[in-house]
Amino acid sequence: MSRIDAALIAFLVTALFILALRPVAYSIGLVDRPGGRKGHRGIVPVIGGICMYLGIVAVAPLLTQPIDGQGAFIVAGGLLVLVGALDDGFDIPPAVRLVAQATAALIVCLGAGLVAENLGNILFFGNISLGMFALPFTVLVIISVINAFNMMDGLDGLAGGIGLAALTAGTLAALIFGEGAGASLGVIGIAVVLSFLLFNFPSIHNRSVRTFMGDAGSTLLGFIVACMGLKLAHGPEPIISPVTALWIAALPIFDLFISFGRRISKGQSPLHPDSEHLHHILFRAGFSVRQVAIIMTALAFLVASTGVLAHRAGVPDGVLFFGLIVVGAIQLWTVRRAWRLASWLRRRRRVEGELGA
């Protein structure tokens, strides 16, 4: 089956499962209720992640160009979705989630052969080999990307949009440089995310069927992006450099480490939730949830595609690495001045509104 046909089937299967499982979610309590830090209205089913996974599983065996290590990928993804769904329903301890994520990472590393053996020529004096640290480093990378996307699941359409941006840039790289298996994973991932966004992106047309992806979905999404980056940069025939793979998920990765640093500096647990992410800044500045989702998706795609196209243009790894540091520094500067920036944006939008009146 061609990638396009598989994508259409994955899109439809995901949508059908979302519609079919909504009443089940209400009956078993797999729903999100407003209150506390949750400002949404009404009770919303949390089945998006489960349904995206089912969409992938339904078509993966039918692909003409199958995903490398497909069995390991499906098993590991299933573990993450299962534990994520349990967390959505029962709030399981962070340590249990972390063990599950590490286990899933090991399954795909060993079962699919996706291990980062080197860091590329990021310091201009040749490839930096990881040697005996290759496997633990790769597991750490996968866990980091999984949690980066989990932290992005704070507003409707946000995690899905950023995941869509990363998968689109990764698929672009696979198509440009001719990596069929990587393109297959990317196209199917794009299809199931688009299907989910029909029920999650802020719109007056989907309020009656609104659905959340939950931890099951955000961890699955991060896992797919991490696997795709590893496949493109460290598979049997790498087509991009390791630093280019980091560009594909740069915005959520930097958000993760900036958040960890902020919380640790306050004496809090790195996993302690807060409302000081970049998307929260934009929301407090007066942008609507829909506008924040669009802005963040556009920023994520701009950064990701910049890395891919720069690699295509022959920009050295070292330049890409230092460019990535600049992107992270800008993101850190923006978040550290959150309240000041939010106030400035509110004043600017108020002035623009008065001038337009």
What pLDDT is recorded for position 15? 97
What are the beta bridge partners of residue 46?
212
From residue 327, alpha-carbon distances to 23, 150, 250 in Å are 44, 21, 8
Which pLDDT value is given to residue 303? 96
Q: Residues 64-102, buried b or exposed e (16+ Cβ, 10 A)?
A: ebbbbbbebbbebbbbbbebbbbbbbeeeeeeebeebbb
d(CA 119, CA 217) in angstroms, rounded, equals 29
Q: What percent of the chain has pLDDT over 70?
A: 93
Tell me phi and psi for residue 46, to 5 degrees: -115, 75
pLDDT of residue 212: 95
* φ, ψ at 274 (rounded to 5°): -145, -175
Higher-pLDDT residue of 41 and 1 is 1
Which pLDDT score, from 0 to 100, does residue 154 have? 77
Q: What is the share, in percent, of the chain residues with pLDDT greater than 90?
A: 63
Q: Which of 34-38, 79-83, 333-337 has the lowest mean pLDDT?
A: 34-38
Average model confidence (pLDDT) for the chain? 89
The Cα–Cα gap between 229 and 227 comes to 5
pLDDT at 9 over 60: yes
Task: Answer yes or no: is pLDDT of 357 > 60.
Answer: no
pLDDT mean over 284-307? 90
Q: Which residues of 160-182 are buried (b: 16+ CB within 10 A; e: fewer)?
A: bbbbbbbbbbbbbbbeebebebb
